[in-house]
Structure 1
């Protein structure tokens, strides 16, 4: 079964008829389409809910969303699709940032979390784990995207698409615009609605963390994955991919997710896995 809802002006795609609901949040420079392979597989077992993040839809007028505004939209969406049950969150990139914060503010609404490639990205531990060159790369791409947001228009979008191509992003260029860069502008302190109020993410529900190892720097610290893997019901899996493991190796990714969802309480150990 598939249906569409509209919540706060955002089109919500609901696919599948399972008793549990998975709410999927993408990141930059993607849209709801980044989860195509996951929905195709998971819809036979779960209700899959996905949408393009507020501010990321190229068809809509350009605007930025503060952290609180984003949380309000997510709360409205979850309440609209949850069927009065806690939901599973599947998160990637900025979807992790927003999803982790949503969980910390609304713990009773979340039963489990699947985080993809973003852990304690803004922590001091992650910053210390990076070399000077890696720190420069992070500042370089984030600063470029913040600048593209400030420029806007065709030039800002061209700059954004160029950076997406440089970083190997799988999203089709026709869905990419400077409008989806506002989180980087806010992150740099250039706009109202700063992310400085983000609550440190400490999951108390089962969590699966999947990350790619074939990229120039990580978005988590070694301590973070070690601590997470030691928690009952939690699991850490490294895949031989870049920042988008769910797109690069969808079958392997889906197998990991399904296996964990079927028995999350028995997967406390960390794993370093090669999806050959």
Structure 2
């Protein structure tokens, strides 16, 4: 079992990058955690606890999520630019990126455009091969019913958020309801902003650029992930020179939340 002491990360705002973030730990080594589409930095709470005992760690709300305004950052290149601006504002010269799903796409984009900045890369179910992802992942982009489906999903999340706030038994069901916690964090996202970001994500398929990644890279995927199937992450790892691939048995799309101890062990071994 990994020793993950209880921590209270500092919550702050970076005016330069216009990003809300959590920060914990200390030291020369710096790690940034980038969440996926529709999530927030809160999915990294357990990961921050595990990492902050060893290093300085930041978890960012990406544009259009949580406490960070979209401000026109609809393309993955724009988001990568704002993460780079965050690093400049924090006087970070070398960083390890851990990116999940859309955050994996952003992490790759930042690594490719700012190779002097990124020293290591961990990709968790990276949405890097947009053209190969399952057709149902584009549901919200379909004309007509896609917009309605997205709004209906957010209304459902808001109902779950209200239930979680007023029904005490839910608060103690940590192992059973990780999906509910994620839904309550996503409940108040702007549907128009999410749709624009999803379109920007699929527009940035990185198939032909992966062989240009020149930093040590780990790719992690749940073997039951329906959003980014493990085979796609195997392809990403195979395309990046000397990248490692690890499949987590029984995990879906959020292994940091579904199997936190297993996920942390794999990540820490790579970072060591």
Superposition TM-score tier, normalisation by shorter sequence: 0.7 to 0.9
- Distance in 2 between residues matched to 1:186 and 1:11, nearest whole Å: 18
Q: Which residue does 1:253 correspond to in 2? A: 263
Q: Quickly say closer, same or farther: Cα 1:77–1:49, change in 2 above 3 A.
A: same
- Render the CA deviation track for 1:97-145: whole Å, top value 9, x for unaligned: 212111111111000101001253214xx35xxxxxx53x223255499
User: How far apart in 1 are the matches of 2:54 and 2:196?
Assistant: 39
Q: How does 1:170-185 map to 2 (within 5 A)?
A: 170-179=181-190, 182-185=193-196
Q: Is the alpha carbon distance of 1:64 and 1:39 closer, same or farther for their aligned partners in structure 2, counting shifts above 3 Å? A: same
CA distance in 2, matches of 1:222, 1:2: 31
Shift of 1:173: 1.7
Alignment CA distance shift 1:236-1:175 (3 Å): same
Distance between the aligned counterparts of 1:223 and 1:256, measured in 2? Answer: 16
Aligned to 1:78: 87
Once the two structures are superposed, what CA deviation does each residue of 1:203-247 show, in whole Å capped at 9, x if it has no partner? Answer: 210011110111335355376156158x43x31100120000111
Contact 2:128 2:205 in 1 (8 A): no
Rounded to whole Å, the distance in 1 between the matches of 2:146 and 2:197 is 8
The alpha-carbon deviation at position 248 of structure 1 amounts to: 0.7
Range that drifts further, 35-44 or 211-220:
211-220
1:223/1:17 CA distance change after superposition, 3 Å:
closer
Root mean square deviation, CA, Å: 3.5
Aligned residues: 240
Unaligned runs of 5+ in 1: 128-133, 263-276
Change over 3 Å in CA distance of 1:87–1:72 after alignment to 2: same
Of 215, 227, 243, which residue of structure 1 is paired with 2:225? 215
Q: Does 1:48 align with 2:57?
A: yes
Tell me the TM-score normalized by structure 1.
0.72
Q: How does 1:1-276 map to 2 (within 5 A)?
A: 3=10, 4-7=12-15, 8-57=17-66, 64-67=72-75, 68-84=77-93, 86-118=94-126, 120-123=128-131, 126=132, 134-135=134-135, 137-141=136-140, 143=142, 147=147, 157-158=154-155, 168=179, 170-179=181-190, 182-185=193-196, 187-188=198-199, 196=203, 200-202=209-211, 203-216=213-226, 218-219=228-229, 221=232, 224-225=235-236, 227-228=238-239, 231-232=241-242, 234-239=243-248, 240-262=250-272
The 8 Å contact of residues 22 and 87 in structure 1, kept in 2 or not, is answered as yes
- 8 A Cα contact 2:123 2:217, kept in partner: yes
Per-residue CA deviation, residues 17-65 of structure 1 (Å, 9 max, x unaligned), is: 12210011101221111101111011011110112111112x6767552
Q: Kindly state the Cα deviation for residue 171 of structure 1 after the two structures are TM-superposed.
A: 0.7
1:186 to 1:256, Cα distance in 2 relative to 1, 3 A:
closer
Is residue 93–residue 116 contact of structure 1 (8 Å, CA) maintained in 2? yes
1:131 equivalent in structure 2: none
What's the TM-score, normalizing by structure 2?
0.73
Structure 2: which 5+ residue stretches go unaligned?
Answer: 1-7, 162-178
Task: Give secondary structure in 1 for the equivalent of 2:190.
Answer: helix
